Structure formats: C-alpha cells, structure tokens
Amino acid sequence: MPPELGPQELFTRYPGNPILSSADWPYPAHTVFNPGATLLPDGQTLLLVRVEDRRGISHLTAARSMDGFTQWQIDPAPTLAPDPQRHPHETWGVEDPRIVRVKEIDRYVITYTASSQVGPCVAMAMTRDFVRFERRGIVLPPENKDAAIFPRRIGGRWAMIHRPHAAGRGDMWICYSDDMVHWGDHAPLLAARSGAWWDSCKIGLSPPPIRTDHGWLVLYHGVRMTCAGCLYRMGAALLDLDDPTKIIRRGDEWLFGPEAEYERFGDVGYVVFPCGATCDETTGELRIYYGAADTCVAVATARLADIVAYLTA
C-alpha cells in the first residue's frame, strides 16, 4: 500500500449508490439488501439479493448487470424462495446469501441463513445457472449464520467459515468436510474483541474468503453495541493459504463503516453489511456489494493489493 493510504481511504463508494432499491423491483418488495455476488462466465455481475416482503419474510432474487453498477436485469419473480413445506427451517425466510464458484464441481455453492422458529441455521444450495437449484438443506444447526465455503479444497478437504452464537458470544469458526454435506473438526478462528473495540459485540464473515498470493483475505463484519443501537462495520484479516486457522494478520481498524446517508438511515440505520465481492483479475479491482441500513444495495471498490499491503505492512 502506498504509505499515505489510511484504512479509511481503501474503499471508495460508487457515486451512483444505492445501485438497487425496492423502487427498482419488478414486483412489490419492502426492502432489498445484503446480496451475494459473483461474476458469470459472460462477464456479467450477478447479485442474489435478499428481498424482504411486507410480511417481514425474505427471499432471494437474482439481478444481473454487464458493468456491475447499472442497468440491472432483475428476475420478474423470486429466484430462490423459502420452501417451508419441504424445508420447515425456512419458515421465516431465507437471508444473506454467500456465493462461491467452485470449479472442481462446476457449480456455484450458495450458503444462506434459513430463518427458523428455533433460530437461524446455515443452509446450502447449489446451482449452475441461478435458475435451477439443488437444495442441500441445513448444513449447520441453530444458532448459526454468516457461512461461506472456500472455493477450493484445503489439505484435500472442503473448508467453511461460520458463526455460531452461543453463551452470549458471536465468534467466527472454521470446519471441514469431505463431501460438503457433513461438516466437522470445528475450530475457533477469530473472536469478537471486547470493551470499546469496534468489533466487540459479535463478528461474522462478510463475503466469502478471497484468495491472494499472501493468504486468504477475510473481510468480516464487526458489531459494536451503543446506547443508540448497533453499529455494523467491516474489517479484514489474512489467513494462511494452506492452514487457514493460522492468522497471518488481523487489522486493528475497521476499513469500511456507515457514513453515507443511505447507510445511516433506513430500516436498521448505521449498518453496512457486505455479503458479496467480485474481483477483476486483470485490473485488481475489488468490489464489495453490501446492504445499506437493511434497506438498499450499494457497492464500494478498492484495490485488492492495497488491502493486502495494509494488512502486511
């Protein structure tokens, strides 16, 4: 990183933010936020957006754009709707998807929060085209959310970061699987800090881990509880490529937090909540797609190399 770049300057908001709001939706929607993101083979950006209806129940709908900023083509009906008949754990909706393209199985693996009557669970679905989905059901029981797999095997096994909530703690954990269905060898990964820290209340993975030459870049959200409510911000850590339980570096400061009006005011103010990121391998530009104030979708860009330089400085 050029030494003059501080953490507050690593990300730049797209001037046309918010890029998607309920007014853009082709059918009635209350709010649209927290999208997963991926690049399709034809170069389009696909967002799988959480859409909350006027009952309070969320589903997921795909929006596609050639440049990733404008002219979104939004599916005319829910793309992945809760199916409580066959999947009772989805009674209160499906939320906050993370999308990972897994070359080895030629599929996108989507992990999302199934909002059940006994708490949030991690559910998984796979797709090749974002039209037909193979649902794998619950892969981690409640309370758990904010999960995403790594895009390739590590030491011969699949790995997944997740966020159980127990004993008043919300820390990030990692687990492993041979078949992506049965997950074990759970181990703590990153813990919420304490006291006055920005990530003192709870933390959770934001977009799926991003491979860099220096390690797995993990962008995570941290929550601080104040008298006025929760503050959701994003920070970063770098994990060893061969053994992600080894933390190379965890940044002290948050890199991105609610500042713009659309991030401070909405259904849940002072929230930035990225669930998706795309990276242009030619230019090195990283884009994070995030829910702003649980109301609309916005995007911010950074140079991947600058974030890595900040963490390794």
Contact 174, 187 (CB under 8 A): yes
d(CA 289, CA 273): 8
d(CA 97, CA 82): 13
Please give the backbone phi and psi of residue 89, each rounded to the nearest 5 degrees, phi first: -70, -5
Binders of ligand BMA among 22-61, rule CB under 6 A?
34
96 binds ligand BMA (CB under 6 A): yes
Count of chain residues binding ligand BMA (CB under 6 A): 9
158 binds ligand BMA (CB under 6 A): no
Stretch that binds ligand BMA, among 39-47, 148-156, 207-215, 265-273 (CB under 6 A): 265-273
271 binds ligand BMA (CB under 6 A): yes
90 binds ligand BMA (CB under 6 A): no
Nearer to ligand BMA, 154 or 203 (CB): 203
Binders of ligand BMA among 294-313, rule CB under 6 A?
294
Distance of closest approach, residue 266 Cβ to ligand BMA, in angstroms = 10
Distance of closest approach, residue 196 Cβ to ligand BMA, in angstroms = 21
Nearer to ligand BMA, 35 or 68 (CB): 35
Stretch that binds ligand BMA, among 14-22, 97-105, 256-264, 268-276 (CB under 6 A): 268-276
Degrees to nearest 5, angle at CA 50 with 165 and 31? 110
Contact 217, 308 (CB under 8 A): yes
Nearer to ligand BMA, 241 or 268 (CB): 268
Torsion over CA: 231, 234, 239, 243 (sign)? positive
Stretch that binds ligand BMA, among 129-137, 178-186, 267-275, 299-307 (CB under 6 A): 267-275
129-163 b/e (C-beta count within 10 Å ≥ 16 → b): ebeebebeebbbebbbbbbbbbbeebeebbbbbbb
Residue 93 is given by DSSP the state B
Nearer to ligand BMA, 34 or 61 (CB): 34
Alpha helices in the chain (DSSP H): 261-264, 304-312
266 binds ligand BMA (CB under 6 A): no
Binders of ligand BMA among 211-240, rule CB under 6 A?
232
Q: How many CB atoms lie within 10 A of CB 285?
A: 14
Residues making up the chain, counted from first to last:
313
Nearer to ligand BMA, 212 or 295 (CB): 295
Beta bridge pairs of residue 174: 161, 187
Residues that bind ligand BMA (CB under 6 A): 34, 95-96, 232, 268, 271, 273, 291, 294
